[in-house]
Structure 1
Amino acid sequence: MRDGSVMIKNQPARVSVVITAYNHERFINETLDSVLSQDAGPLEIIVVDDCSRDNTLAIAQSYAGRGVRVITKPNGGPSSALNAGIACATGDIIILLSGDDVLLPDSIAPRCEALALSGADVVSAVPRWIDESGRVLTSNEHPHVFAAPEKLKPVDMFSRLFFHGNFICAPSVAITRRCLEAVGAFDETLWQLQDFEYWLRVSAKGFGFYFLQQPLIKYRMHSRNLSTSNPERLRQENELVLANAAQFLSAPDLQELLFGEGFREIDLGLDATHLAHLLTIRHSYWTVRSIGRWELSKVLKDSHAYAQLVEKFTLGL
């Protein structure tokens, strides 16, 4: 449908836009105006102010007369803000947005239509990059981290994320409520890679992703981007996420990634814990491999588990 409304499962979809904001007084007006100008039927718009120290809260509250709901909370980082907003949202589809990013015209309806038509539970796209002033950046002025691949089955999506890193632009995502409820909350211990960890869990749970080829948002790059402002924390969170990611997968998924699709349903006599550590050992990051080896060595203190692994790998597995 292109009449301004969106459908999911042959019924009008209720759409909630959750905007997380922290010290975004320079940008929040443009963000909210871009949401309010969407031709996508009635929207539930929720701003979660994570205890900003500037005028972000007052600016957001000035939109109350236009139907914007503002939630305030103690500062707890982007994951806690996302969780607070999602908990209050009532939509069938949740749009995630940051208070410094901007929706392009006709940004919401295509995502909702893609969810309805593709059967996926997460839709995303590559963004248009802008700077602090809103100028569109050229291709050599921003990192090339986001991608819009052809449809991948969930286990292959997990593999691409796990071995090659995050390529999903969180502010361009629309996600179904059923997916959010099944996967659970964002990890509030993570401040920079909470979205990366979440996509790994989503794909491990078997939910599908779909990527639209046209840009949906303007993604703002500036000096205070939480996702990149602390390189050391970024490195630590990346290693932590990757070291724990394989445990989200089922044993059949792990066997497929380790040995090939033909081994998916074969009983190898190995439990998911052993298989997860084996997958972690295959990662290219030395620190992640080392954590996997250490964890596997603790498991293999059990002589029976050790004998099982020796037998399987002796047979060429």
Structure 2
Amino acid sequence: MKISIITSCFNREATIGQAIESVLSQDYPDIEYIVVDGASKDRSLEVINRYKDRISKIISEPDKGMYEGINKGIKAATGDIIGLLHSDDFLYAKDTISRMAQEFERTGADFVYGNGLFVDPDNTDKVIRNWMGGSYSKWKVRHGWLPLHPTCYIRKECYDRYGLYDESYKIAADSDLLVRFLYEADLKVEYLNEYIVRMRMGGLSTDSARRKKMWDEDVRMYRSHGFSPTLTKLQKMAWKVPQFISAKLKF
């Protein structure tokens, strides 16, 4: 079973190397690693090229945002399963992909998700949010619950059948795709109760300056799926509260 991992990068010279190394250090033997750089203006591409002999495909050209970059990676992927690793993040352990592959083989799932940690951007040992995925149900999705996007590994045939990321969203395209796949489609979904990724706090959806745009996009997205938009957005926010409490109690 080949697993394709896609990293979309723009101006992340400080963190892209750690992301790449966390993939290259995996013990799973059949990984296709695709890095899509949106014509970074810093030294990101220079860092990426240090690993070019071990990266399956490098795409470097201007794009209109992260989701266009991810879509390019999906279109270029040849794996059975597709996962994402953002350029600020890194895989939790060296056997993370092996564990994910075992779960697909054990269950025959179309979609597997797990747990993730949000960490301090300067001290990645300091946990800010402890995102435990929890069990899956369409009822929960209807009421604002979604798994942590970078913990989601999905069969490529699902993208072929249900579509890629909607690039009209600049922040909420991941939520839109998850609602399509987890609520509107009838996929075999499994929860792997293990940590998959460490994510630095910050980024598109966690930057305070972008929260208004995130609100507007989430409301538009939920409305497009026939949900009560404002109520579902508030419910989505409520699901996050235990993550901060758990991080303080556990770490």
Q: TM-score, normalised by structure 1?
A: 0.68
CA spacing shift, 1:174–1:286, aligned 2, 3 Å? closer
What is the distance in 2 between the residues matched to 1:18 and 1:240? 27
Match of 2:60 among 72, 85, 88: 72
Show structure 1 runs of 4+ deviating over 6 A: none
Tell me the amino acid that sits aligned with residue 195 of structure 1.
D
Deviation of the 1:111 alpha carbon:
1.2
Query: Residue 285 and residue 174 in structure 1: after superposition, are their counterparts in 2 closer, same or farther (change >3 A)?
Result: closer
Structure ranking higher in strand proportion: 2
Aligned match for 2:156, one of 169, 177, 183: 177
Deviation for aligned residue 1:183: 1.1
Compared CA separation, residues 231 and 39, structure 1 to 2 (3 A) = same
Counterpart code for 1:66: R
- What residue is the counterpart of 2:51 in the other structure? 63
Q: Tell me by how many angstroms 1:187 deviates.
A: 0.3
Relative to structure 1, is the Cα distance of residues 15 and 221 closer, same or farther in structure 2, using a 3 angstrom cutoff? same
Residue by residue, what CA displacement relative to the aligned partner does 1:3-40 show, whole Å, maximum 9, x if unpaired?
A: xxxxxxxxxx0111111111111111111111001011
Matched, 1:16 2:1: no
Q: How does 1:248-259 map to 2 (within 5 A)?
A: none
Cα gap change, 1:39 to 1:244, in 2 (>3 Å) = same
Q: Equivalent of 1:125, from 92, 103, 114?
A: 114
Deviations 1:42-81 (A, max 9, x none): 3211100122221111211221122342101213112111
**Deviation for aligned residue 1:129:** 2.3
Cα distance in 2, alignment partners of residues 135 and 281 from structure 1: 37
Partner of 1:262: none
Q: Percent sequence identity over matched residues?
A: 26
Of residues 131, 134, 150, the one that matches 2:135 is 150
- The structure, 1 or 2, with the larger RCO (C-alpha pairs under 8 Å, 6+ apart) is 2
Larger radius of gyration: 1
1:108 and 2:97 correspond: yes
Superposed displacement of residue 150, structure 1 = 2.4
Matched, 1:284 2:208: no
**2:168 is equivalent to residue 189 of structure 1:** yes
CA–CA distance in structure 1, aligned partners of residues 102 and 67 of structure 2: 27
1:286 Cα offset (Å): 9.7
Structure 2 Cα separation of the partners of residues 241 and 284 of structure 1: 13
Matched, 1:228 2:191: no
Tell me, yes or no, if the aligned pair for 1:28 and 1:56 is still in contact at 8 Å: yes
Structure 1 unaligned blocks of 5 or more: 1-12, 247-279, 288-317
Distance 2:14 2:158 in 1: 33
SS of 2:223's equivalent in the other structure is: helix
CA distance in 2, matches of 1:55, 1:87: 26
2:193 maps to 1:213: yes
**Number of aligned residues:** 230
**What residue is the counterpart of 1:95 in the other structure?**
83
